[in-house]
Structure formats: C-alpha cells, structure tokens
Amino acid sequence: MNKLLTTLSLILFIGFNSLGQNFISIEPKPLNVYIEQGENKQFLNFDFLVKNNSTDTLSLSKIAVSVYDKKNHLILSRFLDNNGTAPSINIIPNRAFNGGETKLIFNPFSEFNLAVLLDTLTFEFTFSNNKSEDFIIKSLVSPIKYEQKEKYAFPLEGKILVYDGHDFYAHHRRFDFEFAPIKQLGISANFMRYAYDFIILDSANNQFQGSADKDENYFGYGKPVFAIADGVVIYASNKHKDDKTFDVPELLNNPLELYGNCIAIQHTNGVISIYGHLMQNSLKVKTGDTVKAKNMIAAIGVSGSSFLPHLHFEMRNSINSSAEGLPSYFSNIFLFAGNSTERLKSGLVETGNVIYSK
C-alpha cells in the first residue's frame, strides 16, 4: 500500500504583533508527491499553492529545504534567498502576495543525487510585511517512489531528441493553473506535469532538410506513433487540420483540445496515455477500440498548439479538467553516448537526451 503524502505547516512569527491577521497557508500540489528515479538522479515534480489569508501585502524573501532520514538525521540543506547582487530568490518571479491572494510557486529544489534518501523534506518559506517584520512557515513533505505496474514501449522508433521534458525549466512543468486565463477555463491541476515533446532526427542529428518553414521537411512528419501498452481507446480526435491552431474557448469543455488530433488510451492499471498533435486522417483507431502494445495508432503531425512536427506524450489519471500527470518509464530505449548507445536501465528520459528506440 502506498504511503500518502504527509504535510504539516508550522508558523513561526518574528516581530508580528497580531497573529490572527497575518497568516499564510501552503499546500503542496499534487497531494501525492512522487519520486522519479533516473540513471544518476532522482526528481521531485510538484508545486506549492500559497495563499495570503491576511490583509497585509507580504513578500517572499527566502525558500529553504532540509532533508532528513528515517531517524531524523539531517542529510542535506539548500536555500534561495535575497542575498547578493543577483539574489537567487529572483528565480521565483511572483513573490509579492496581496491580501487574500493565492499563487502557485514551482518547487525550485527538484533534483537530488540517487544516494540521498528522500524520506522527509522540510521546506521553510520566509515572508516579510511592509514593516520589514519576518515570519517563517514550515511545510513537511514525505514523497513516495513511483511504482509503474506495467512495462511501456516507447511510442516512436528511430533516433529521437527529447526536445522538452518536465524538468524545472520545461514548459510542461511550468504550467501555472492558478494563472487567471487558465483557471477561467476550469483547469485545476497540471495534467502535463510529466509530459514530453519528442522530435525524430536523421542519422546526422538534423530535425529537417531544406527550409524549416515547411512541415513536410521535418523527418518526423508523418512518422508512425505506437501505443505504449495494451489498453482501450477512450478518446480519439481527427477533426483538426495540421495548421498549428486550436480553439481556446473549447478548452472549457475539452482540455484535450489543446493537442489537436489526439488519442487517449486507458491501460489495465487505470492510467491513461496521451498522444498529441497527430496528423489529420492518420488515426488508425477510434474510441472504444482495443489496442496492443506497439500497435501503430497514428502519425506525427502539427495539429493543435504545436510549433513544429513532434509528438506530445504524457501519462495522466483522467481526461477531465482536474487531471494530474503521472511519471512514465520505457523499456526499449538507448541513450547516445558519443558513437555508441547504452540502454537506459531506469527507463526515464530527460530533456535534451538523444535516444534510440526500436
């Protein structure tokens, strides 16, 4: 049985005269924080929902994390603060909280060596008011290692660039569902939290030949997309032209509209794989069809919110507006290291990797 996330917030006030009027609440999102384990590192991909419940304007000046083992021994300590000529806290862009305001803060401490036991992490947030009075809120997080119950085959074949994954800088990770235009569409979680954009390369590592303005010049355009595992198709859209556009208001009714022509497959463990930006009229399946691992289901296109021919791939727990993303590990991938390839034993690919799948 999986251990649920344990979260505790403690408030330590320094210099505040009225405790009742000055209070910040912090909640990790999602509530279950998973540990992804790669070849050399492990990753924590989650956010903090921060709400200023007071009437004061408060400013975030420091974030620190301490990692403890099961015996409460300190293993690691790191921080961002406002010290120096180029303060590290500046990587958190929205640090001022007006009275009653809620914002999402992306966890800046997301990568750890494999040797670090991520049992309990204590995050400390330091806030200041306009009187230069400080206080600290502690949030305790106990992550769990993600256990993938099925074996997943990679959804493409050949030489592939992991153009964008879900590291701290990736746009999939930095999806702010508290941002007003997104929140107004009814989206309340990050369904692309563990998503990838994959681009097919030729043997010389080129993405295209000739002009980059023509989609058909990309080596990936029209290439087959495969199901990662056995499952049932629960969504299949084929109505979109390959014109890199989508209907923004329609996201209120269907968040998958973002991906244009798209397929969603529910697997035997209940999780769902998503394949987006598919070529119009390339779909080989329809809603209700049963598929097997490595069945061709469509081809790479540029439909929906797509900037160039690529496959958007993600795992998630539903296809509605409250869907949360899930990690994925692949069984048939090799990492290019110079002129040779090495099997990725962990099955986890990262942004920037050049990989081979067969």
Following DSSP, what letter does each residue of 273-325 receive, concatenated? Answer: EEEESBPTT-----TT-EE-TT-EEEEB---SS-SSS-EEEEEES-SSTT--E
What are the Cα distances from residue 40, in Å, to 3, 198, 217, 224, 250?
24, 22, 36, 31, 41
Mean pLDDT of 339-352: 93
Q: Does residue 7 have a pLDDT over 60?
A: no
* 130 and 275 housed in the same domain: no
- Residue 256's SS3 state is helix
At residue 320, the pLDDT reads: 95
Per the DSSP assignment, residues forming a β-bridge with 122 are: 66, 140
* 17 and 164 housed in the same domain: no
* 174 and 53 housed in the same domain: no
* 218 and 260 housed in the same domain: yes
Element (H, E) at 43: strand 41-44
* pTM of the predicted structure, to 2 decimals: 0.92
At residue 338, the pLDDT reads: 76
What are the Cα distances from residue 84, in Å, to 87, 89, 131, 134?
5, 10, 22, 19
Q: Does residue 2 have a pLDDT over 60?
A: no
- Does residue 2 sit within a domain? no
pLDDT tens by residue, 44-88 = 999 999 999 989 999 999 999 999 998 999 999 999 999 999 999
Residue that has been written with the tokens 């929902």 in this structure: 49
Which of the listed residues 124, 145, 166 is the one where a domain comes to its end? 145
Mean pLDDT of 348-358: 95
Per the DSSP assignment, residues forming a β-bridge with 123 are: 65, 139
% of the chain with per-residue pLDDT over 90: 87
Q: Does residue 6 have a pLDDT over 70?
A: no
Which of the listed residues 145, 180, 210 is the one where a domain comes to its end? 145
Query: What's the CA gap between 93 and 112, in Å, rounded?
Result: 23
Query: What's the CA gap between 350 and 244, in Å, rounded?
Result: 25
Q: What is the amino acid identity at position 54?
A: S
Which pair of tokens denotes residue 235? 């969504």
Which pair of tokens denotes residue 178? 């508290």
Q: Does residue 14 have a pLDDT over 60?
A: no
pLDDT tens by residue, 118-174 = 999 999 999 998 888 888 999 999 999 999 989 999 999 999 999 999 999 999 999
At residue 130, the pLDDT reads: 86
Of 54, 27, 179, nearest in space to 128 by CA: 54
At residue 339, the pLDDT reads: 78
The mean of the pLDDT values for the chain is 92
Mean pLDDT of 261-268: 96
**Would you place residue 11 in the very low, low, confident or very high pLDDT band (cuts 50, 70, 90)?**
very low
- Does residue 180 sit within a domain? yes
* 292 and 235 housed in the same domain: yes
**Would you place residue 340 in the very low, low, confident or very high pLDDT band (cuts 50, 70, 90)?**
confident
Element (H, E) at 10: strand 8-14
The size of the chain, in residues, is 358
73 is in which domain, residue-wise?
Answer: 8-145
Which pair of tokens denotes residue 125? 């947030």
Q: How many domains does the chain have?
A: 2
Q: Does residue 13 have a pLDDT over 70?
A: no
Query: What's the CA gap between 131 and 112, in Å, rounded?
Result: 37
* 100 and 191 housed in the same domain: no
Q: Does residue 20 have a pLDDT over 50?
A: no
- Does residue 153 sit within a domain? no
Of 223, 293, 304, nearest in space to 265 by CA: 293
Q: Does residue 1 have a pLDDT over 70?
A: no
The DSSP call for residue 336 is E
Q: Does residue 17 have a pLDDT over 70?
A: no
* 228 and 320 housed in the same domain: yes
Largest interatomic CA distance in the chain = 68
* 136 and 50 housed in the same domain: yes
HSE toward the beta carbon, residue 179, CA cutoff 13 A = 10
* 139 and 179 housed in the same domain: no
* 33 and 58 housed in the same domain: yes
- Centroid of chain to Cα 252: 21
pLDDT tens by residue, 173-224 = 999 999 999 999 999 999 999 999 999 999 999 999 999 999 999 999 999 9
At residue 358, the pLDDT reads: 87
What CATH code is carried by the domain that includes residue 309?
Answer: 2.70.70.10
At residue 283, the pLDDT reads: 98
- Does residue 277 sit within a domain? yes
Mean pLDDT of 328-350: 92
* 54 and 13 housed in the same domain: yes
% of the chain with per-residue pLDDT over 70: 94
- Does residue 174 sit within a domain? yes
Of 257, 49, 44, nearest in space to 142 by CA: 44
* 213 and 248 housed in the same domain: yes
